[in-house]
Chain A
């Protein structure tokens, strides 16, 4: 497996680019790249030439997370003041605005069926689930307090939830917190199941394997990437190599490769079977906030975004 640079756009945004996701293709257009930035805009890019297809404004602070509905028609973006804007990708019409207290919205993820939007609830120490037809809040999955601590303790700020992921069958939700714990929930019953231990610094990104619903990959500030059996609460692999925080992880659609973006300004490609890095891309000049594999068939594409205001697109084969 290997990555080959296809196209890089310097100054794609006016400020640091913080979030990236692929909007799946529809009947009328191919899959597009959606990026969010500190410059308070969300932009659309068409591969492979990365032609700018639109700029969405409407946020008052930096955009920290973007997510795309599996249908490819709807997307959502969230800014630092916890304002979530849901919009139509093609027309840029606002569909809904979801508000939460600032600090209580972080990463966003639609479930694979497209019926729910999971929001990593930051300081609320929970994952919030919004219905995508009515745009009402339907569930709050709270991380239980450890036994023996009183509600008045300051510990809730330790459980600041940074990241969230759905399993490919939509039955499990995993979320990563600031203290390094990963919590697994039963999505159907809205019940907390267990913690996955091993990280001891913030878990900023996690993703389930698209081919094996039990496998969960997590990236953390402790510079490690972990591979968990999410059902059996076992750490089954740890991959080291980054020199600084791992900010973003994503798995390729064939489930064989993992890409990570890190504070050490590199993008790494890992062979999951070998549990080792196979390639390091160091074309970015600042920390890499997001990596995303294009969903669906060949040819494989990986996009990365960075604090250096640039977007890069790679061919994955």
Chain B
């Protein structure tokens, strides 16, 4: 410490010494001055030195001396000194414009003296001199901003920010400058930066909040204000901003129709605004805001519908409406109070008068108790006039008066005055239009609306007006609906929304989402209008939601009882009929009947009512009464207009058929006058009844009525019906006349090739007819377009596909790895049915039918792939869930049958996985289902197989006998049984089996030969197993002749002939073999293995080496790579050796040497001595 003291001392001495030596050296003097100033705090002495230094060399240290002097003088408190300080600083700044200290001090001094323009000049000069004089830019920016010269200020501030990039003040100022220039996004960015630098910049927060509100980003605005409130919880502006932000947000919600959302936001806004009034109760604008919030709340507070309970409570409904009205009214009153307070504080503000006027009007509309006289002025009118007295030239107040007044003349006058003042006031035109419409002057009304719309197309009222106009003209229902939809989208007003629903009823848009949303929103704001509930009910009905529809109609009826006025009765009747209809459609016949009877008592049943009445009676089993009602209906048919008469006739025909049967229906139809049958609907009904009638009594009626079928859909529908009719008329007792149906459909399809209805029916009939190979045609003739929703028809395309694929044994297998399909129908190249079914399932995951078909197809696939483990696991899971599904607890043939099939699948999977008890249990379950013996046969067949595996001979025999007793109509069952019978040496009379097989339906003519061929094939195989090759050959030959060119049969025959010739039988067998095998080789799409090898052998035996080579080469590609047997390699070795000389090296046998071929043969089957011997020879 002392040392430093000493050093200071030394330094002083040294400098003083130097100055004595060189008294004219300014830098020495300056140095001394600084030393004295900084180290010794001897400011006066230092100042002396600076004065001298400055005199000697003013520009020393860039005016540093002047700066010190300035500071010195500024410190001395007196007028003259400060003047001197000013001069010194000026000098310092002029010498060094970058000197921020002097500059700031100079400006402060000027500021104190109020010389603002001088200050600006100083800063401007400094900033012009040096771009680094950031202080000057900053000061200039602030000053210019203060003087509201914003664009210049922006320039200064931007420059200053380069020098002080982390100054929140600068950013804030820049933000303000931008804001004043109207560059709001730039302002937001600057404010954002200021807040980023210093989180508590309340000004920046408030202002950015205001900008957000102005830009319509209410949510961000609210967030900014909330942040401001956290910093300063008592800030009035933050409260005000937050409340107005929330108000804007709520208005946005309300414009969407989200009233509940709006209401919750408004509740919060109201709280904030209330807080604000507590903080500053003397500001009229705050009270106005509070009033605005309450008014908006009163206008959006939604009526909450209690959850529909089945027990409908009239009292609760009335109460809920009353309390809703009460709440609305109360908030409106609060709003009125707040506005009055605001007016009280600043009575010169005309717009508050208008606000009060609007609010009083609203209060009156909720409080319909006021029985006012027409002569007296309404408070709302009076207040509107008050506003006008203050600002008579404000057109909007004239419009307000025009809306609020009760006197039409005054209304018209006010609106026209408003338009005088401002001719482009769209609202005024719109209201004028409304007024004219009310007075019935349509031409004027339309003109006014057109004016309004051309000025401001975003105004809802003109669109609604136009819609009403269109509606009146009756020709343009669609346009009326569109216009009204526009109005509703712009402004979700309950009246517009109800109008929309009404128009939708006329134009057939009732099930549209827009209408549903609109009417549900209208419900929240107009629950006291019965029309609203009635329309809601109609919309629900259009969506097939009859339960809810009925509930709505009940509400409507309830609301109408609270309403008085003309036309109540007819409305009541309409609603009651609506209610009865929806109840009936919902399946609640009892209540529907009750409604109808109530109506009947009052004598109000109309045509529709009568139909519902009759239908409900019939549902409840009161057929006699129902028939008498139907008779009443029939009596009135003659007086009805065309469409409702047709509907009634259709109803009566169907009704008669259901109650009194076919004959009675036909007799009634014959009795009816012919002119009634002039409609396509009736034509369908009559044709349907005709289809069921074998004696063709309705022939003439049907043919005449068909004249009225016009559209393609109707005509194809009729062909559909005719085809079904042919099934019945040309069928026998046990079997429908499929062939005639198919023939008709083929013809019809030729005319209407696009009709998927006809295609699907044709496919369905082809499948049902169970003819050989028709399954392939079936899947090809229906189009499976997954993007089109399936509709109508007996079976959908996917069902046909799934069923067809199951019926064909080659399920989606393209590689001949597992089997060699010999099917000549080219279904192999189609995309796999399993994939198609999965696509369907992806679209309709709830559809049990697709799941069922998927299970069956997967089982086919598993069977083809020899039951691989992973497929079995999936199948087990799928089946177990499918079986537990409640659908299969239904009784009904088709469900039972599917359950049966699923059980058989489960049983089969168990069998394949070695779970015999599971297999037996499932099969036993299946056999206990109530189904025709025809099907049950297969359950017992499975049991038979399971017992056979268990070696349970007693049960085996029992099940065998049971199978023979049950019998089946399916040939394949008998063929399987035949196999098992031989395999397990079951005792029975052979003839039973064979005669049963022959008995089983021969009606499928085309298939019969094929099945017989198969049966004979089995007999042939049995002969082979019992070493009786000669008779086997006879069987096979017979089978081949029956089945035509079926390659696998030909192969069997060929192979047997070869064997016979090998055993030394006559040589004709060899040529027989060659014939069969050659046919077998030519037949299938995927070449069968072995055929060519055998053919080669035969050719070899006949001595034709060339043919031997050719066929052997053909053999090679028929085998999939991983399945090639040892013998094939060996044969290839022979081929390679024989044709060594040949030049064509691309042939398969040359890909390796004969030794290699033999090695591969040995590798595949090392136990065959023949190969080893050949190898030995080759090596030698």
Task: List the A side residues contacting B511 at CB < 8 Å.
Answer: 200, 222
A13 CB → nearest B CB, Å: 12
Chain B, interface size: which category?
35 or more
Are A307 and B786 in contact, with the CB atoms below 8 A? yes
**What 1/0 mask marks residues of chain A from 48 to 65 whose CB sits below 8 Å from any chain B CB?**
000000000000111010
Residue in A closest to B846 when the chains form the complex, CB atoms: A160
Chain A, interface size: which category?
35 or more
Are B513 and A222 in contact, with the CB atoms below 8 A? yes
Question: At the interface with chain B, which of A109-117, A126-134, A223-231?
Answer: A223-231
In whole angstroms, what is the CA distance A80 to B308 when docked?
36
A161 CB → nearest B CB, Å: 10
Whether B841 sits at the interface, judged by CB under 8 Å, is: yes
In whole angstroms, what is the CA distance A184 to B870 when docked?
38
Are B886 and A156 in contact, with the CB atoms below 8 A? yes
Are A263 and B787 in contact, with the CB atoms below 8 A? yes
Task: List the A side residues contacting B309 at CB < 8 Å.
Answer: 147
Are B846 and A60 in contact, with the CB atoms below 8 A? no
Are A102 and B881 in contact, with the CB atoms below 8 A? yes
Q: In the complex, which of the residues A15, A123, A211, A232 has the most CB atoms of chain B within 10 Å of its own CB atom?
A: A232
A78 CB → nearest B CB, Å: 11
A63 CB → nearest B CB, Å: 10
In whole angstroms, what is the CA distance A146 to B838 when docked?
31
Are B835 and A103 in contact, with the CB atoms below 8 A? no
Whether A94 sits at the interface, judged by CB under 8 Å, is: no
Selected from B517, B786, B874, the residue in CB contact (under 8 A) with A198 is B517
In whole angstroms, what is the CA distance A174 to B258 when docked?
18
How many inter-chain contacts with C-beta < 8 Å in the A-B complex? 149
In whole angstroms, what is the CA distance A263 to B981 when docked?
54
Task: List the B side residues contacting A200 at CB < 8 Å.
Answer: 511, 543-545
**What 1/0 mask marks residues of chain B from 243 to 283 whose CB sits below 8 Å from any chain A CB?**
00000000001001111110010000000000000000000
A258 CB → nearest B CB, Å: 15
Whether A122 sits at the interface, judged by CB under 8 Å, is: yes
A80 and B838 contact, Cβ closer than 8 Å, known pairs A102-B877, A123-B846: yes
Are A234 and B886 in contact, with the CB atoms below 8 A? no
A81 and B874 contact, Cβ closer than 8 Å, known pairs A178-B846, A232-B259: yes
Are A240 and B839 in contact, with the CB atoms below 8 A? no
Are A15 and B259 in contact, with the CB atoms below 8 A? no
A261 CB → nearest B CB, Å: 12
Whether B871 sits at the interface, judged by CB under 8 Å, is: yes
Whether A296 sits at the interface, judged by CB under 8 Å, is: no
Task: List the B side residues contacting A156 at CB < 8 Å.
Answer: 886
Are A232 and B260 in contact, with the CB atoms below 8 A? yes
Whether A236 sits at the interface, judged by CB under 8 Å, is: yes
Are A275 and B513 in contact, with the CB atoms below 8 A? no
Beta-carbon contacts under 8 Å, A201-244 to B: 211-212, 214, 221-222, 224, 226-227, 229, 231-238, 240, 244
Whether A157 sits at the interface, judged by CB under 8 Å, is: yes
Are B878 and A232 in contact, with the CB atoms below 8 A? no
**What 1/0 mask marks residues of chain B from 765 to 797 whose CB sits below 8 Å from any chain A CB?**
000000000000000000000110100000000
Whether A254 sits at the interface, judged by CB under 8 Å, is: no
A144 CB → nearest B CB, Å: 11
In whole angstroms, what is the CA distance A122 to B851 when docked?
13
Task: List the B side residues contacting A80 at CB < 8 Å.
Answer: 838, 841-842, 845
Are A234 and B260 in contact, with the CB atoms below 8 A? yes
Are A38 and B261 in contact, with the CB atoms below 8 A? no
Are A234 and B524 in contact, with the CB atoms below 8 A? yes
Whether B887 sits at the interface, judged by CB under 8 Å, is: yes
A103 and B513 contact, Cβ closer than 8 Å, known pairs A16-B839, A234-B261: no
B350 CB → nearest A CB, Å: 34
Task: List the B side residues contacting A265 at CB < 8 Å.
Answer: 787
Are A18 and B842 in contact, with the CB atoms below 8 A? yes
Are A81 and B545 in contact, with the CB atoms below 8 A? no
Selected from B787, B839, B871, B881, the residue in CB contact (under 8 A) with A38 is B839
A203 CB → nearest B CB, Å: 12
Residue in B closest to A64 when the chains form the complex, CB atoms: B842
Give chain B's interface residues, CB within 8 Å of chain A.
219, 253, 256-261, 264, 302, 308-310, 489, 511-514, 516-517, 520-521, 524, 543-545, 547-548, 786-787, 789, 835, 838-839, 841-842, 845-846, 848, 851, 870-871, 873-874, 877-878, 880-882, 884-887
Give chain A's interface residues, CB within 8 Å of chain B.
15-16, 18, 38, 60-62, 64, 80-81, 101-104, 106, 122-123, 146-148, 152, 154, 156-158, 160, 162, 178, 180, 197-200, 211-212, 214, 221-222, 224, 226-227, 229, 231-238, 240, 244-245, 263-265, 275, 286-287, 289, 307
Known A-B contacts: A197-B520, A231-B260, A236-B258. Give 8 more (CB < 8 A): A80-B845, A81-B877, A101-B880, A101-B884, A102-B877, A198-B517, A236-B253, A238-B516
Going nearest first, the 7 A-B pairs with the smallest beta carbon separation are A232-B260, A238-B513, A160-B846, A235-B517, A200-B543, A224-B513, A236-B256
30 contacts between A and B (CB under 8 A): A38-B835, A38-B839, A38-B842, A80-B845, A81-B874, A81-B878, A101-B884, A102-B851, A102-B882, A122-B846, A123-B845, A123-B846, A147-B308, A147-B309, A148-B310, A157-B886, A157-B887, A160-B846, A162-B845, A198-B513, A198-B516, A198-B520, A200-B511, A226-B517, A232-B261, A236-B256, A237-B256, A263-B787, A287-B786, A307-B839
